[in-house]
Amino acid sequence: MAGTEPRDRPAAAVDYRTLVSEDRVHGSLYHHPAVFDDELEAIFTRGWVFVGHESEVPNPGDWVSRRLGREPVLLTRHRSGAVHVVANRCSHRGTALCWAARGTSNRFQCNYHAWTFDLDGTLVAVPYPAGFDRDKDDLGLDRPGQVESYRGFVFANLDGSAGPLATHLGEGGTGLIDRLCDLSPTGRIDVSRGWIGHKVSSNWKMWPESDNDGYHLNWVHASMVDATPDTYYNETVLGGETGNQSRAVDWGDGHVELDFRPSYTRALAWLGTTADRVPGYCQALEEARGPERAHRLLWDGPPHALVFPNLFLGEMNLAIIEPVSPTEMIHWHTAVQLEGVDDAFNTRLRRQSEAAMGPAAFIVPDDAVTAERIQGALAGARPAWADRGRGWLDVSRGARREQTGPGGERAALVSDETTNRGFWRQYRRVMSSRLTAPSPAGGAA
Amino acid sequence: MTGATPASTAAGPVCSAEVQREIEAFLYREARLADESRYTEWEALVTDDMHYWVPAGPAVGDPAETLSYINDNRARLATRIRQLGTGSRHAQTPASVMRRLLTNIEVLSVSDDGTTYGTTANFVLYELAAQSTQELRVWPGRVRHTLRRVDGELRMAAKVVELVTATLPQPNLAFLL
């Protein structure tokens, strides 16, 4: 929908083409209520959003609770085996159907008037049905217009107007997911060990940025490096501007990566171990993929990347970036577990996840406090300041030395802001096109 | 509380009043050192096999099987304290201003050899997030200690903190809870 001109909706109140340019963004974008509202519409209602992973609902009746933007939804497994996404809200009078983070049920029954829904959202029973004139088939739970999955990663688009998921992900996005899943001997990952929520008093957009910023690590994470001097961070991201070979990559469409692969000097450096210490895993991967491919996978490790807008592939962690309000967000994470690998290996991944991610870990709390300091310092930045040269943030680093790779991706030094620019380029595109396009129903949004 | 005898069903205490007072004094001291971010003195209170656990829900089951906020063995706890001591742990620079109330202290069990005690207490911790939002954060919960007598002195062998809000997303938790 890029390039769509305003038609049946007045120009957006906030001019995103002004507030976001190639090398700077305006601070008002991080806290203005109108911007947040526009984002819920343009990004979280009209675009593809990550919901969850099929491994979270392995058996019929399993469900997990999520938010698509602010919309509460349930990711469910139907008796047919199909995965569905339905609103966690009774279609009668709006009562939330489930309160827990996850559960298993044959049906969802509302406690208010006992309307009962199947796992796919179909209304199956209401008490005293003779009093209703409307067809039951028209009273199912709200469902996203589109739900598709790629290698078990379930995405939804509420409006149903976002085109195929494959187009949204592109080769860049699918390539990132492939690189994670291919580390499993079966090609499948499992993320059913539960999610930890980290509540941060910052705008959600600081997390697509911070999670994929290769410039901050020497300073924000200095204490982690000092306390754990042997981590692979030393060789992949530290050592000065040109002291390592890692790259900041923009794969297009907002999917961006800190590519550590060129810095690894041995297999399994990304896991902080060596092949002889995890022989079961190495053998299983070799049997599944052949020695040559397995060697490459063991060397390269998982991606460190954003799948626009809300999925962070944090090496052997997944994180979901959930907007709560203009100044609040939740950074959810879980450990990636590899199917077909011994439990000792997956236990190691769980312990590493606890060390890296979440409110008490060694890494992310320092990002969180930084985000909160930014949030506080931007509180006064008004959109109207933009043309007075006040309240601008610079994301220009390394723009002139970006190179275009064989897949059309842009890449520069890992400390360059190529990843941030990639996020903001997509943000600008969707915020300035989707808000002015007609809604799928034909009316103005 | 491995090897400990459960508290008797009788109303009587499982330890002497003198030991009860000693345990309470230990818990108050531990709380005060944590409140004041006196990391090295706090670390001197733990045993070589200390387990420090803050689950993301009720403290049931094996913490190895799931994901917790904190699930530190002794080595990882040492890393945690080393990081706090670097002076550049931004999430605690400056350290949060904290005071906690420790109450409802009970000694629930004592091991057969009389060296290890299982205790429970309720707490409310008030934290000023001085390094970020300047807001007051309130952390209510229950804390269970396993205390072991080593060379005549009580030491922590386990500390399990069950937050009332454990199932909800938490703000930064980079101090000693």
Q: What DSSP designation does A20 have?
A: B
Q: Which residues of B touch A195 (CB under 8 A)?
A: 67
A404: tokens are 């275009």
| pLDDT attached to residue A243 | 73
Sequence-ordered list of residues with C-beta below 8 angstroms from that of A264, at least 6 positions apart, any chain: A232, A235, A236, A270, A299, A300, A301
Q: Which two tokens stand for residue B102?
A: 């420790």
- How many Å apart are CA A35 and CA A53, to the nearest integer? 29
**H or E element, residue A423:** helix A418-433
Contact between chains at B83 and A223 (C-beta distance less than 8 A): yes
3-class SS of residue A391: coil
Are residues A68 and A51 in contact, defined by beta-carbon separation less than 8 angstroms?
yes
Contacts of A376 in chain B (CB under 8 A): 132-133
Q: What percentage of chain B reaches a pLDDT higher than 90?
A: 93
Residue A10 pLDDT level (bands cut at 50, 70, 90): very low
Is residue A223 classed as helix, strand or coil in its secondary structure?
helix
pLDDT of residue A290: 97
Average pLDDT on B57-69 reads 96
For residue A304, give every residue at least 6 positions away whose Cβ sits within 8 Å of its Cβ, in sequence order, or none.
A212, A257, A258, A259, A260, A313, A314, A315
Using an 8 Å Cβ cutoff, are B66 and A194 in contact?
yes
Q: How many other CB atoms sit within 10 Å of the CB of residue A348?
A: 18
- pLDDT (0 to 100) of residue A7: 45
Mark yes or no for CB contact B171/A373 under 8 Å: no
The pLDDT of residue A337: 98
For range B100-110, the mean pLDDT? 98
**Given its phi and psi angles, is residue A409 left (phi above 0), alpha (psi -120 to 50 degrees) or beta?**
beta
Sheet holding A71-77, edge to edge: A83-87, A71-77, A62-68, A102-104
3-state secondary structure of A128: coil
Q: What is the pLDDT of residues B141-168, one digit of tens each?
A: 999 999 999 999 999 999 999 999 999 9
Q: Is the pLDDT of residue A298 over 50?
A: yes
**Is residue B11's pLDDT more than 70?**
no
- Is residue B96 very low, low, confident or very high in pLDDT (cuts 50, 70, 90)? very high
Of the candidates B19, B17, B27, the one whose C-alpha atom is nearest the C-alpha of residue B121 is B27
Q: Which is nearest to A256 in space by CA: A320, A331, A308? A: A308
Asked if residues B7 and B85 have their Cβ atoms less than 8 Å apart, the reply is: no
Whether the Cβ atoms of residue A340 and residue A83 lie closer than 8 Å to each other:
no
Residue in B82, B170, B174 nearest the CB of A227: B82
pLDDT over 80 at A16, yes or no:
yes
> Average pLDDT of A73-94?
98
In angstroms, the CA B101 to CA B122 distance is 8
The chain A residues in contact with chain B (CB within 8 A) are 101, 193-201, 220, 222-224, 226-228, 330, 332, 334-335, 347, 350-351, 353-355, 358-360, 362, 365-366, 368-370, 372-373, 376
**pLDDT value of position B117:** 98
What's the rounded mean pLDDT across residues A320-326?
98
**Strand pairing of A24-26 and A392-394?**
antiparallel
Cβ-proximal residues to A70 (8 Å cutoff; 6+ apart), any chain: A40, A44, A323, A324
Q: Once rounded to an integer, what is the mean pLDDT over residues A402-416?
A: 94
Q: Report CB contact under 8 Å: B132, A369.
A: yes
Mean pLDDT for the stretch of residues A303-322: 98
- A51, A113 in Cβ contact below 8 A? no
* Residue A14: pLDDT over 60: yes
Residue A441 has pLDDT above 60, yes or no: no
d(CA A45, CA A442): 15
Contact A286, A267 (CB under 8 A): no
Tokens of B129: 């997030």
Question: Which residue in chain B is spatially nearest to A324 when comparing CA positions?
Answer: B169
Residue B10: per-residue pLDDT: 53
Would you say residue A445 has pLDDT above 50? Answer: no
Query: Are the beta carbons of A173 and A307 closer than 8 angstroms?
Result: yes
Distance CA A213, CA A423 (A): 11
Most B CBs within 10 Å, among A217, A336, A372, A378, to test the B interface: A372
Spatial separation of the C-alpha atoms in residues B53 and B64, rounded to whole Å: 11
Residue A260 has pLDDT above 60, yes or no: yes
pLDDT one-digit tens code per residue, A190-248: 999 999 999 999 999 999 999 999 999 889 999 998 898 776 666 666 666 777 889 99
From residue A332, alpha-carbon distances to A230, A409, B31 in Å are 27, 28, 30
pLDDT at B38: 98
Residues, chain B, total?
Answer: 177
Mean pLDDT computed over B108-117: 96
Number of residue pairs across A and B with CB atoms under 8 Å? 109
Q: Which two tokens stand for residue A33?
A: 């209520």
| Nearest Cα residue to A205 out of A324, A317, A304, A313 | A324
Q: pLDDT tier at A153 (50, 70, 90 boundaries)?
A: very high
pLDDT band with cut points at 50, 70 and 90 for residue A286: very high
- Position B159: which residue type? K
* Cα–Cα–Cα angle for B70, A152, A97, rounded to 5 degrees: 70
Q: Which positions in chain A touch B54 (Cβ < 8 Å)?
A: 360
For all residues of chain A together, what is the average pLDDT?
93
Q: Which residue has the higher pLDDT, A308 or A233?
A: A308
Residue located via tokens 């009389």: B114
Q: Looking at the predicted structure, is the pLDDT value of residue A12 above 90?
A: no
In chain B, whose CA is at the least distance from the CA of A200?
B171
Contacts of B41-49 with C-beta under 8 Å, sequence gap 24+, read B42/B81, B42/B176, B43/B77, B43/B78, B43/B81, B45/B155, B45/B156, B46/B74, B46/B77, B46/B155, B46/B156, B46/B157, B47/B74, B47/B148, B47/B150, B47/B155, B47/B156, B47/B157, B48/B74, B49/B73, B49/B74, B49/B157
Q: What is the pLDDT of residue A99?
A: 94
Lowest average pLDDT, out of A6-15, A41-50, A156-165, goes to A6-15
- A426 has pLDDT over 50: yes
